[in-house]
Copies of this chain bind each other. A is one copy, B any other.
Amino acid sequence: MNTAIDPGSRASSYHHGDLREALLAAAETLLERGGVPALTLRAVARAAGVSHAAPAHHFGDLTGLLSELAAVGFTRLGAGFDAAMAGAGSEPAARLTAMGKAYVAFARAHPGLFVLMFRSERLDASRPALRDATTAAGLALRTAIARTRPSATDDAPLQAVARIAGLWSLVHGFSVLLIDNRLGGLLGALPPGDDPDTLLAAMLDAVSIEDGGRQVAD
């Protein structure tokens, strides 16, 4: 009668063996399938094949479970940044595009997780796992952006901060609007064959004009 998502490992009768990870995996499946509202302590317990109170033992309460799951997401996002920066060349504009693409690609690949990661009213930001993961990902993002500008040191403080905040806002807002399907009309106005990736590249290209003097001028 085990409706568990992962019935493998060592499902003894009582002690599960690795229930904590199984619960997180089940939660992620439910999240991507039904969004944040589907993330219920009891639903997660059902999906993992345990009693309704089992998750509380590992995560305390629902906020704890959601926070740990969000931490997984931030860790994964940070890893995506690192991979994108490692794969990109040394040219600033290319690095910037790679970073933006990594951000949006993560959001599109795991929309439920991405939404959860920024639903702060359901999370406990002071939880160590979440706090560490967010700061790590934020640091990776900021350094990645900072390195996409050749001569960043001579920027005025306001301009330097504006560059980071602007790019972050751009890719974050685009991800949110894309997931929410708010860009339907705009995407429909694109030339045939152009997808969101093309649009993102064009957006980043427009912003990166202030780099070495690259011009759009067709």
- Which of A's residues lie within 8 Å of B, judged by CB? 35-37, 118, 120-122, 138, 142, 156-159, 161-166, 168-177, 180-183, 185-186, 189-191, 194, 198-199, 202-203, 205-207, 209-210, 216, 218
A138 to B183, CA, bound (A): 10
Q: What is the oligomeric copy number?
A: 2
**With known contacts A163-B206, A203-B169, A120–B189 Cβ distance under 8 A:** no
A79 to B174, CA, bound (A): 24
A177 to B181, CA, bound (A): 19
Q: Which residues of B contact A120 (CB under 8 A)?
A: 180-181
A-B contact pairs, 5 of them (CB 8 A): A158-B198, A161-B199, A169-B172, A172-B177, A209-B210
A216 contacts B159, CB within 8 Å? yes
B118 contacts A158, CB within 8 Å? no
Known: A161-B202, A209-B209. 18 other contacts (CB 8 A): A36-B121, A158-B194, A158-B202, A159-B216, A162-B203, A163-B206, A164-B186, A165-B177, A165-B183, A165-B203, A166-B207, A168-B173, A170-B173, A171-B173, A172-B177, A173-B176, A206-B210, A210-B216
**With known contacts A118-B180, A164-B186, A159–B209 Cβ distance under 8 A:** no
A180 to B159, CA, bound (A): 22
- A207 interface neighbour in B36, B181, B182, B207, Cβ under 8 Å: B207
